Structure 1
Amino acid sequence: MQQVNLYLEEFRPQKNYFSAEFTAASVALLLVFLIGIQWLVSHSIKKVESSVIALENQKVATELQVEKLKSTPIGGSASQLDEEIAILKEEKSSREKLREIIEYQNLGNAEGFTAIMAALARQSIDVIALERIRVTGAGNMVELAGKTRTPKAVPVYLQALQSEQVLANAQFGLLRIEQPESQSQNIMAFAFGFSQVEGAKK
């Protein structure tokens, strides 16, 4: 029996790198690689295009918003702004001077007075600014006065106060709403129980 030593170079099987099978396999691998590269490039381009479109849409939306702001009066007319400022000043003043504007006589106990004030605070409305508060008869009589830019909100405010347990049986007196002498036409003075609406035209 003849033995062949495969470790010798001349007896090893030779690979033909230029054979049809090897060439076809190489071409197939190259095509797969190129297709993969093309897909990645195409995907990246689509992402960039989407980002560009989004930026363009955002730019258009911003320009439209700017144009809308330019064409829309800021907060309405100057007179409306003056009215808004006036009522805000009234509200701020009424809060800062709360101790000075509260008048009460013979309430009977501090706890009852605190409960009434807490009820007034819970039912506060932003369109109503209280300027005077007077509690008499151990809390059985409550008089209020102030200003508002929404007169129809005053009766609603009274109903809300009467829903409070501490004020359910209290008397608020006659409601009067009049126009103050030195205020805008849209700001009205009102009073529950006080003999005269403060600052109203005579």
Structure 2
Amino acid sequence: MQSVNFYLEEYRPKPLSFDTRFATLLFIILLILFIASGIIQSTQLTKLKQINQTKKQELATLQEKIISMQKELANRRKVDSIDDLLASKQNSLNSYRKILSQVGNPKQQKHTNYSLILQQLSEQPANSIWLTEIKINQQSLSLQGSSTESTAIPIYIDQLKEAATLKRHFDELKVERDHNNGSLINFSLMNGRLSHEE
């Protein structure tokens, strides 16, 4: 059996030695890594610059849109204000027109024309009859009067019904002798309405 003596010089481990070739190789490797790192960082920086430029352009475009929208909103507010003013003026104008139309066409007014009714009553022939009280309520007419002849009262009522301008029909008639003067007959005609209202 063969034995090996590891204590011999040839079997002892030799220390590492750095020669010129190893140093050159190491330098080249480090240089390559440095260049590669610089290229990567430069690429990333270029990309970041491009992204930053793009964001700046987008921000500028957004600011222009905001300014444009603000101007448009201001114009709309002006238009709305003008429209409101025009609507208010139009309403006022319509109100004035209604008032003028009512003034210019009194026949179209809904209220009772008292002077016309009084004129119509004065035009009726009333022999032995005189009116002591006249009440006008919207389209209703009530009369109170006196007469010296009892037969004159129904004739006067028929005249009111058949009058071309008045045409009144009364719902109630009251006739009584005057308490202070027995020669007079008092009468009351209540709720005289126009014939077309029946």
TM-score range with shorter-chain normalisation?
0.3 to 0.5
Give the alignment's TM-score, normalised by structure 2: 0.37
Q: TM-score, normalised by structure 1?
A: 0.37
Compare CA radii of gyration and give the structure with the larger one: 2
Structure having greater relative contact order (Cα 8 Å, sep ≥ 6): 1
Which has a greater percent of strand? Answer: 2
Structure with a larger share of its residues in helix? 2
